[in-house]
Amino acid sequence: MPELPEATTISSQLSPIIKGLTLNNIVIRKNNIIKNKHLLANLIGMKCSEVSNYGKMVYFRFSSYWVVFHLALTGYLVVDPPQDLYKYSVAEFLLDNNIVVFGAKRMFEKMIVYDSYPFDKYGPDFRTIKPVEFIKILSKSNRNIKIALMDQKTIAGIGNIYACEALFKAGISPTRNTRNITAQEYHKLYNSLVEIINFAIQKRGSTISDYIDAFGNKGEYQYYHKIYGKKICPNCSSKVKTIKIQERLTYFCPVCQK
């Protein structure tokens, strides 16, 4: 959290407000989760040329500089926030008459400043890949499908919630090896991810605990989860099984998912 739908929600809300504005100042409240802080002084007076996200990471671009936010579990980026959201402020961006606050409650979050393209070390953003590429990337990785889906170096954007939901929709067990999944099943998984992610973006993401959008509001996709956090399968009424995969609680139906 956030995953692709939440990061896309935040960046698409912020973009029309702050793209093209001049960065007048950055106020730093907490130092320890900011990397390459020395580069920040170069950004003052520059126009924000792009606000977007690469997978789960939201970024602001200022010419050849990139400010990348890893929002982890409790991070937020809120424009002109109410007073209570200043409590966890890490950095405040003053862009003309607008303030964007980067806040973090648990401090697992990160803000990293780069002076060159920062996303080479990640796999392609899920939104940019076609089914053929999706199948090629995953089928060669020879490991558990859920681990492969959540590995940002393989494909960027998918985390625990949307991996659980998509595997359920596609009828694929999260414990399957990527090499034993058929092309037909991969197509189903790809289409499930597209549908789920698009609908989740429409609902401004899922708020399980702390996620809020760029206006400080909770998402609504959690009301549409079919398997994540559930006890009974909505398809067959079997008991939903939970297992830990890489320390993340994985929900699945042992009857519907093969």
Give CA torsion, residues 19, 25, 28, 34, to 10 deg: 50
Q: In whole angstroms, how close is the CB of 255 to Zn ion at the nearest point?
A: 4
Q: In whole angstroms, how close is the CB of 146 to Zn ion at the nearest point?
A: 17
Q: In what order do the strands lie in the sheet with 57-62?
A: 34-35, 110-114, 65-70, 57-62, 50-54
Phi, psi of 104 (to 5 degrees): -150, 125
Nearest to 55 by CA among 1, 117, 102, 110: 1
Q: In whole angstroms, how close is the CB of 197 to Zn ion at the nearest point?
A: 22
Q: In whole angstroms, how close is the CB of 116 to Zn ion at the nearest point?
A: 48
Options 62-70, 79-87, 173-181, 228-236: segment touching Zn ion (CB under 5 A): 228-236
The reply to whether 256 sits near Zn ion by the rule CB under 5 A is: yes
The reply to whether 255 sits near Zn ion by the rule CB under 5 A is: yes
If the CB atoms of residues 94 and 255 are measured against Zn ion, the closer one turns out to be: 255
Options 33-41, 80-88, 216-224, 245-253: segment touching Zn ion (CB under 5 A): 245-253
Rounded to a whole number, what is the distance in angstroms from the first to the last CA of the chain? 26
C-alpha to C-alpha distances, 137 to 57, 97, 109, 134, 218, nearest whole angstrom: 21, 44, 28, 5, 33
User: Tokens standing for 36?
Assistant: 């390459």
The reply to whether 253 sits near Zn ion by the rule CB under 5 A is: yes
The reply to whether 73 sits near Zn ion by the rule CB under 5 A is: no
Would you give the DSSP letter of residue 138? H
Q: In whole angstroms, how close is the CB of 233 to Zn ion at the nearest point?
A: 3
The reply to whether 170 sits near Zn ion by the rule CB under 5 A is: no
If the CB atoms of residues 155 and 163 are measured against Zn ion, the closer one turns out to be: 163
Q: In whole angstroms, how close is the CB of 175 to Zn ion at the nearest point?
A: 15
Query: Residues 101, 108: contact at Cβ < 8 Å?
Result: no
Position among 27, 183, 232, 236 found at the interface with Zn ion (CB under 5 A): 236
Residues that bind Zn ion (CB under 5 A): 233, 235-236, 238, 253, 255-256
